[in-house]
Amino acid sequence: MLVDVHAHLMLEGHEGQLYSLADMFRGSGREKLAQFVEYFRRAGIDRVILCSDPDLFIPKNDGGDPAGSLKRANDTVAEACARYPDLFAGSVMVNPLALDASLREIEERLEKQGFVGVGEICQYRTGHGTDTEGMREILRAAARLDVPVNIHSSLPTHTQELATLMRAVPEATVIMAHIGGSNNWRNGIKLAEEFPELYVDLSGITVQYAGTFEAALARISHERLLFGVDFPLIQPESMTGPFFAARMPEASRRAIAYENALRIYKRLVPAGAHCAM
């Protein structure tokens, strides 16, 4: 079994980016979603922690209604999860700049709609710090409901502020995305060494650089690493390739592939009844 802890429901827009959604998904909304699903199926991914496109609720796109756009963003994820319940489990998108709405979203999506976590919090898109009073409130809310929070990291300021954030809310289960980032993974690994309770997701382009995955494996316990892709920014096979090729004990591979995810995402139901790789 393989659980991908990091995916964004992005089916259109984002023209001019390094990836090209327009060349991946075509047709009606439903057809695009089916094509989105096919990428996971063909890569052998069984369960996906799915969050929305963060650009739906950034200030330039929210139409002056951050709470409304945040709700619409999470609605799109709820609909995808309802349509593909065996594959997708929702993670609540939040925006600390719309804190009351974010806390309401966390409560309602988790308790009423079966969402399983919070994040990815994309502070680099929404335009706030990694450690702010709003971020601390969100982490406290997630801790009360016993769900993990995935936080984007790609800059030294992100990893520095993650440290103060975790010290302020030690009861929260935090996942640092992208091993800290493609230009910041050394700081990410250092942070993971400093905070033995921090979880680390392998998603994004960091693992595409030779030796980075090996460095993470050597210095972070396999019990704290989580498989992730960051689809549709990243092709799933470009992550499953290095992950299944890397030399490691099968017990470590199982932990990273699904055991750790099932342990910390307590509301996540495993795919089918089998847990064989």
- List residues near Zn ion by CB under 5 A: 152, 177
**Nearest distance from C-beta of residue 101 to Zn ion, angstroms:** 21
Q: Which residue's C-beta sits nearest to Zn ion? A: 152
**Nearest distance from C-beta of residue 10 to Zn ion, angstroms:** 12
**Nearest distance from C-beta of residue 52 to Zn ion, angstroms:** 13
Contacts of 264 (CB under 8 A, 6+ apart): 148, 173, 175, 199
Helix or strand run (H / E) with residue 48? strand 47-52
Q: Which is nearer to Zn ion, 90 or 204 (CB)?
A: 204
**Nearest distance from C-beta of residue 69 to Zn ion, angstroms:** 19
Rounded CA-CA distance 48/10 in Å is 14
Q: Are 263 and 143 in contact (CB under 8 A)?
A: no
Helix or strand run (H / E) with residue 91? strand 88-92
Q: Which is nearer to Zn ion, 76 or 153 (CB)?
A: 153
Question: 157: how many CB neighbours lie within 10 A of its CB?
Answer: 16
Q: Which is nearer to Zn ion, 43 or 175 (CB)?
A: 175
Supply the DSSP symbol for 116.
-
For the chain, how long is the longest CA-to-CA vector? 51
Place of tokens 């997701």: 201
Q: Which is nearer to Zn ion, 152 or 253 (CB)?
A: 152
**Nearest distance from C-beta of residue 230 to Zn ion, angstroms:** 6
Question: 269: how many CB neighbours lie within 10 A of its CB?
Answer: 13
Q: Which is nearer to Zn ion, 1 or 228 (CB)?
A: 228
